[in-house]
Structure 1
Amino acid sequence: MIDSDDLREWLILLRTPGMNARRLREGLVSRGGATPLLGWLTRHGDALGAEGRAWVAAPDEAVLARDLAWLAGDDQRLLRCTDEDFPPQLEAIPDPPAALFVKGDASLLLRPQIAIVGARRAQAPGLANARRFAEALAVGGLLVTSGMADGVDGAAHEAALDAGEPTIAVIGTGPDRVYPRKHHALARRIAAHGALVSEYPPGVASHARHFPQRNRIIAGLSLGVLVIEAGLRSGSLITARVAGEQGREVFALPGSIHNALAEGCHALIAEGARLVQRADEILGVLAPAAVELGAELRARLERSDAGTAVGRRKTGPFDWRQDEEYRRLLDAMGYDPASLDALIGTTGFTAGALSSMLLMLELEGEVASLPGNRYQRVV
């Protein structure tokens, strides 16, 4: 049971201008939770900018009331990165979400998943392949995840549901919106027999920038991504390439050299994606990863009282001055502006770890970010 005051504070933070997922996660770690973080931001509004300061000082109570009313609905919840059932596979991606609005069965996000994506204007053979692979993979034990877009996405969701299996749709709007509008019936089916998932609060409309962000969650939830049909400029290629960067498997169906919607798949195959022609090829490749995910979930439950998922650290006040790695980073920075690449070279930290540490120090007021992806110690 989530404390209502804590939930309200989460909603304020999630709607705070300038507070992206990474910054929110690091703030939760450094301040010890949503309540102390919001209190700190109220006292140190300069960390947010004018719009963020104004929101934290006087959040729109009508908006928060609508958010809370949505969350009071049946099978609707805010799944937070501090919750023990937050998907562990998302913790491994470079920019994990801080929270997800879920309508439906949130426990399905813990299942081994295969993302099926492709062209919105897929041709009849592409749609048939999407249905054939989705049905076989769903029956074979992988939960089908996609973006509920027109074309391949919708066909994959429908095929999984028609096979009597659940499916997950990660959407680029608030959880109470449907895009495209033609998928209202499909959205109801997914919510009833699967889960609709969004990083955006209720009421948020579709926007072009939301969909690349949505794609990283589709890829991050999944053990692998299957691209059915895609042109060279398809957003599905973004999902596939993000999946590759996240260490996920990427599969692509080949097609005719005369079909423009096969060109994206052929490009992925040339870049190292696995060419597949049958669903059992995918099941064979992903079986070990599914077993590994199951082991991770078991271990997570066993250490339920040992901390939370935020940044793989326990929540609670964090003093960077007591951390040798943070001191090493500040020593390497000196007091002159330094680029991220230069700091990677001098510290030996990975880009992901370094970005996280710099953000933490920025929240602490010890480091300032400068144009050109540079950072400088605050004197």
Structure 2
Amino acid sequence: MERFCLAALCRAPHVGSRIAANLVRTLGTACEAWRADEGALRAAGLSAERAAALHGFLRKNKDLPEKIAASCERGGISLFIPTDEAYPALLKEIYDPPQTLFCRGSLACFQHTAIAMVGARHASAYGKGAAEDIALGLAERGFVVVSGAARGIDTASHRGALKAGATVAVLGCGVDVAYPRENARLLSEIAEKGAVISEYAPGTAPFAAFFPARNRIISGVAHGTVVVEAAERSGSLITAEFALNEGRDVFAVPGSIYSETSRGCHRLIQQGARLVASAADVAAEYEGGVQPGGAPPEKLTEEEAAVYALLSREEALSLDELICRLQGRAANVAFLLLGLRVKGLVEETPMRTYIRSAKGKSV
């Protein structure tokens, strides 16, 4: 029952993956944490208010681990945790990996190079056609396509991939919940040929706050993320941001200069994302396999090189420190840092400081 106690902990209000992981480390096991009294929860590092709230939840939901286990058995749903061999290796590397991963289907597809594809829900015919064509081309080349099963670009990406291979849908609800409803048949087909995954327990309804967290999993399981259509403020750009923060590749498909849903893609391209017009453009980046930590192929401008030369893997520098050390040798340093992050050469830490990414450490 250990993994189901962990799943129940993660479902508690105001807990989440990081707090649940810390409780398990401090109290020994997830089951011990689930049975802990208020004093033990405070001793584990929770504030008095949060410990009281969690203890109240635990008392009212004593049988929740058993209920989650029963739901998984009824629905043919597997539950994975980070210590499992089948848990996606790339997902373990992100800043906040989900402590529980529910799955309909098989995670074996992650033995292949994974590419995430995201974009607008209210996509144009051009965008949906481009997404379907690129996903089909990637599947034909042996890639597994990952998306979020939303309307628009996500749905087109899944449909394209299913014509030739496997695809993975990452949900912001339980894997037994069809959201949107019209994709129920599509999700069943994805589960048959690939996997439908979520960090949320079976039966969990979609909630707006779950989707930004879901996006970190979409980018987290993938070597690169392709943005097909995205407005300047959109969830797709949040996914691209997660990819950048983890040093993963970001690609963007160009669109009409008159299209609002292409402005986000054009901004990414201006900042250094790889422009792609076909699956071949994406696949070319991974010829010979994925080689993380190798020398980056991009040529840097003089100003980018000046910023990059100041960074290392060992010492994190703030924006102000970089501006001071550059002594006027580069203008608009924040923009240059964003461009370097898009190229996968620089990472931003949780403290808003900057280091070289693993990809670019040997330059």
Partner SS, residue 157 of structure 1: helix
Q: Kindly indicate whether residue 19 of structure 2 is the aligned counterpart of residue 18 of structure 1.
A: no
The one of the two structures with greater contact order (alpha-carbon pairs below 8 A, sep at least 6) is 1
- Alpha-carbon offset, residue 40 of structure 1: 4.6
- Alpha-carbon offset, residue 281 of structure 1: 1.8
- Alpha-carbon offset, residue 102 of structure 1: 0.7
Partner SS, residue 49 of structure 1: helix
The answer for the alignment partner of 2:59 in structure 1 is 57
The answer for the alignment partner of 1:157 in structure 2 is 158
The answer for the alignment partner of 1:201 in structure 2 is 201
- Alpha-carbon offset, residue 109 of structure 1: 3.5
Per-residue CA deviations over 1:1-20 (Å, capped at 9, x if unaligned) read xxxx3244223322222321
Q: Count residues in correspondence.
A: 293
Q: Which amino acid aligns with 2:56?
A: A
Q: Kindly indicate whether residue 78 of structure 2 is the aligned counterpart of residue 82 of structure 1.
A: no
Write the distance in 2 (CA, Å) between the matches of 1:83 and 1:32. Answer: 18
1:27 to 20, 23, 27: 23
Which one is further off, 230-239 or 165-174? 230-239
Q: How does 1:214-225 map to 2 (within 5 A)?
A: 214-225=214-225
Per-residue CA deviations over 1:226-247 (Å, capped at 9, x if unaligned) read 0111111221111111111111
The answer for the alignment partner of 1:166 in structure 2 is 166
Per-residue CA deviations over 1:211-254 (Å, capped at 9, x if unaligned) read 11000000000000001111112211111111111111000011
- Alpha-carbon offset, residue 202 of structure 1: 1.5
Partner SS, residue 44 of structure 1: helix
Q: Kindly indicate whether residue 117 of structure 2 is the aligned counterpart of residue 121 of structure 1.
A: no
The answer for the alignment partner of 1:92 in structure 2 is 93
Q: Which amino acid aligns with 2:15?
A: M
Partner SS, residue 205 of structure 1: coil
Greater helix fraction, Structure 1 or Structure 2: 1
- Alpha-carbon offset, residue 43 of structure 1: 5.1
- Alpha-carbon offset, residue 65 of structure 1: 4.3
Write the distance in 2 (CA, Å) between the matches of 1:241 and 1:352. Answer: 13
Q: How does 1:145-294 map to 2 (within 5 A)?
A: 145-163=146-164, 165-287=165-287, 290=290
Write the distance in 1 (CA, Å) between the matches of 2:199 and 2:91. Answer: 13
Write the distance in 2 (CA, Å) between the matches of 1:8 and 1:142. Answer: 32
Write the distance in 2 (CA, Å) between the matches of 1:212 and 1:198. Answer: 13
Aligned-pair identity (%) = 37
Which one is further off, 82-91 or 129-138? 82-91
Write the distance in 2 (CA, Å) between the matches of 1:14 and 1:111. Answer: 29
Contact 2:178 2:187 in 1 (8 A): yes
Partner SS, residue 144 of structure 1: strand
C-alpha RMSD of the superposition: 2.4
Contact 1:16 1:52 in 2 (8 A): yes
Alignment CA distance shift 1:40-1:268 (3 Å): same
The answer for the alignment partner of 1:67 in structure 2 is 68
Contact 2:3 2:81 in 1 (8 A): no
- Unaligned 5+ segments in structure 2 are 294-317, 319-347, 352-363
Per-residue CA deviations over 1:51-92 (Å, capped at 9, x if unaligned) read 21112234253x544422221146411111122222121122
- Alpha-carbon offset, residue 138 of structure 1: 1.0
- Alpha-carbon offset, residue 103 of structure 1: 0.8
Write the distance in 1 (CA, Å) between the matches of 2:114 and 2:149. Answer: 15
- Unaligned 5+ segments in structure 1 are 294-340, 342-349, 354-379
Partner SS, residue 145 of structure 1: strand
Contact 1:223 1:286 in 2 (8 A): no
